[in-house]
Amino acid sequence: MFFEGDELYGAMLQSIADARHSVWMECYLFAADEIGWMFVQALSERAQAGVDVRVHLDAAGALWRTSDAMVEQLRAQGVSVKWFHRWSWRHPWRYNRRNHRKLLVVDGARAYVGGFNVHRESARSVVGERRWRDTHAVVEGTLAAQAAALFEMFWKGRRDRSRAPCRVDLPALLPNHSRRCRHRIRCLYADWLAGARWRVRLTTPYFVPDLHLLRRLVGAARRGVLVELLVPAHSDVMLAQWAARAFYGRLIRAGVHVHEYLPRMLHAKTLVVDGTRALVGTANLDYRSLHLNHELLLATGDAAACVRLDRQFDEDLAQSMRITRQRWDLRSWTHRVLEHIGHAARRWL
């Protein structure tokens, strides 16, 4: 597990440098900044050494952040670069469906997946204490082979061909679309929430659940499960924050413990259920991730991983403020109006 960008980027760059056969990368936001250019250099060097280097970028995520110079440099050095859903006047609505996955697979033997994009905002060495709080994981063996197969399938345009069912055997890497289930991540969240026995710990930067998942969260709390929700107090998307706060009242009345993380932007996407099952990945708990975007989750029952995620959750709670019913009832009319605006726009978030 990685919780600091500098540590993650260092490990990824070292894995790229050690690659002998292939380096395959998907990224939603690949910024033309200090961090992005470090990856451009590392990827270019491997391509020049004869390694199969491929980079799959999302057109919407790259908008204003990935420069033409960066892409030209990669291609000039032998890196294969593909764009996912570039703008087209003939197919304007497809631009709304994005590749939100963050994945690096090296030699088919090691894979990195999680919430970190490639940008300066996540690097303490660049922005200091203001860096984003995020979570990423590295896997090897069978899971890395799964990651390679998922990358290859997506690269070739076979994005919904998996026949995998909604229920999964742990551990597994899961895309959110398959032939048998069009909303696989949503189904998995719902199943795990329904099956929780004593504790649910959910971290998400953008909390805009659909009615089905909202009912599962509320239902778990009402049957005595300790449900803890951790969201950012300071968001980079204010409309999404207003929408999230529109749900607080119902959650708090049902007994859900709602906490806002205070120090900096919280961008991690994790779930730990009963201390025995965990999800780490790219999917936010919002309409876009649950219904539209291509996402990727690591689902695991590994005891050490669950303990580490629980420990990090405790550390985050120590730097958070609980939103009590009394505090919430005293909020201003301005905040109430903004919540209505966010809630009205929730299906576009």
- Other C-beta atoms lying within 10 Å of the C-beta of residue 215: 16
Residue 192: its pLDDT value, please? Answer: 97
Return the axis-axis angle of helices 34-48 and 5-18, rounded to nearest 10°. 10
Residue 62: its pLDDT value, please? Answer: 83
Residue 142: half-sphere exposure toward Cβ, Cα within 13 Å: 7
Judge whether 37 and 341 are in contact, CB under 8 Å. no
Residues contacting 216, CB < 8 A, separation 6+: 189, 190, 193, 194
What span, in angstroms and rounded, lies between the C-alpha atoms of 255 and 222?
7
What b-and-e string marks burial along 220-240, b requiring 16 or more CB atoms within 10 Å of the CB? bbeeebebbbbbbbebebebb
The CATH code of domain 5-155 reads 3.30.870.10
What span, in angstroms and rounded, lies between the C-alpha atoms of 193 and 213?
8
Residue 202: its pLDDT value, please? Answer: 98
Same fold, 5-155 and 172-348: yes
Instruction: Give me the helices (H) in 30-80, please.
Output: 34-48, 59-62, 68-76
Q: Which residue has the tokens 């280097």?
A: 53
Residue 167: its pLDDT value, please? Answer: 64
DSSP state of 295: -
Going from N- to C-terminal start, the domains of the chain cover 5-155, 172-348
Tokens of 272: 């730990």
Residue 88: its pLDDT value, please? Answer: 62
What span, in angstroms and rounded, lies between the C-alpha atoms of 244 and 342?
8
Residues contacting 228, CB < 8 A, separation 6+: 199, 200, 201, 202, 256, 257, 259, 313, 317
What SS3 state is found at 272? strand
The CATH code of domain 172-348 reads 3.30.870.10
Helix (H) or strand (E) holding 227: strand 226-232
Judge whether 136 and 112 are in contact, CB under 8 Å. yes
- Please give the model's pTM, rounded to 2 decimal places: 0.94
Over its length of 349 residues, how does the chain's per-residue pLDDT go in tens digits?
Answer: 999 999 999 999 999 999 999 999 999 999 999 999 999 999 999 999 999 999 999 998 888 789 999 999 999 999 999 999 776 666 666 667 889 999 999 999 999 999 999 999 999 999 999 999 999 999 999 999 999 999 999 999 876 655 555 567 899 999 987 666 678 899 999 999 999 999 999 999 999 999 999 999 999 999 999 999 999 999 999 999 999 999 999 999 999 999 999 999 999 999 999 999 999 999 999 999 999 899 999 999 999 999 999 999 999 999 999 999 998 998 899 999 999 999 998 887 7
Residues contacting 209, CB < 8 A, separation 6+: 217, 247, 285, 286, 290
Taking Cα atoms as reference points, which of 81, 78, 80, 14 lies closest to residue 42? 14
Taking 3-state DSSP, the helix, strand and coil percentages for the chain, each rounded to the nearest 5, stand at 45, 25, 35
Whether residue 171 has a cis bond before it, omega within 30° of 0? yes
Residues contacting 208, CB < 8 A, separation 6+: 240, 243, 244, 247, 284, 285, 286, 287, 346, 349
